[in-house]
Amino acid sequence: MHTRQQEPVTLYFWPTHNGFKIAIFLEEAGIPYRLEMIDIENGAQFAPDFLKIAPNNKMPVLIDPEGPDGKPITIFESAAILLYLGRKAGAFLGKTEAERSVVEQWLIWQVANVGPNFGQIHHFADFAPEKIPYAIDRFKKEGRRLYGVLDRRLADHEWVAGDYSVADMAIFPWTRPWRIHGVLKGDFPHFERWFQAMNDRPAVQRALRAGGEITAALEAKRTERARRMDLEAERAKAAAATLPGSPNAL
């Protein structure tokens, strides 16, 4: 689908889970956009000029020069941006009030549960100078519970909220580092089916390339990390198979 947007919107972006959410919508809806890269790894989100449009010092932020009544509008918070774009494009929010309610529930589930919990996993398992087993275990256990919620939902729904929607766009980027979350292949088959379907969408592929060389460099690091984690998982599985009591033990 394509909207009648004449001037491109501006997306203040860095290739993170929340940044990709908005890029996916813009690509799916065919809304022209340009990127302003906010290098959060070097503190660009704390610059005074960015604070003027992002009161919470976080990206993404969207500026639409063709907002309500034809006037520019600035929106921060990823879920608010998705809802605004969905209303503007008339798409990906459900066709009836009942359908919109389901979409909103799953969008808020992502914002209130998936994002905060997975973010804590990334912090304690990846970035914390001291690895605290209790914290890592606590958040990974909750993470697996959330994957279970998603997997059960997808057992009898092709997409999270019924039809393809902003709920899928919001959840998918956060599940891309599923290995870090302690998930193994085969743990959640319905999630895996949905994940592959999301990954195969042409608009999603274009969105994951938003940011050009910067994104490509960061994605290469993430891909290499995923490869190493797969190898570690295979080694751990092989080692467990040799333990006494294992069906595969000699």
Domain spans, the chain: 9-89, 97-210
* Residue segments in the chain with a per-residue pLDDT below the cut of 70: 1-3, 226, 229-234, 236-237, 240-241, 243, 245-250
Q: What's the pLDDT score for residue 229?
A: 66
Q: What's the pLDDT score for residue 184?
A: 87
Distance, in Å, from the CA atom of 128 to the CA atom of 226, rounded to the nearest integer, reads: 19
What CATH architecture does domain 97-210 belong to? Answer: Up-down Bundle (1.20)
Q: What's the pLDDT score for residue 90?
A: 96
Q: What's the pLDDT score for residue 214?
A: 87
Q: What's the pLDDT score for residue 71?
A: 97
17 contacts 115 by C-beta, under 8 angstroms:
yes
Distance, in Å, from the CA atom of 178 to the CA atom of 176, rounded to the nearest integer, reads: 5
Q: What's the pLDDT score for residue 233?
A: 62
Q: Which of 114, 100, 105, 96 is nearest to 21 (CA)?
A: 114
Taking the whole predicted model, whether its pTM rises above 0.85 is answered as: yes
24 contacts 50 by C-beta, under 8 angstroms:
no
CB burial readout 58-70, b (16+ within 10 A) else e: bbbbbbbebbeee
- Residue range 9-89 forms a domain whose CATH class is alpha beta
Q: What's the pLDDT score for residue 236?
A: 64
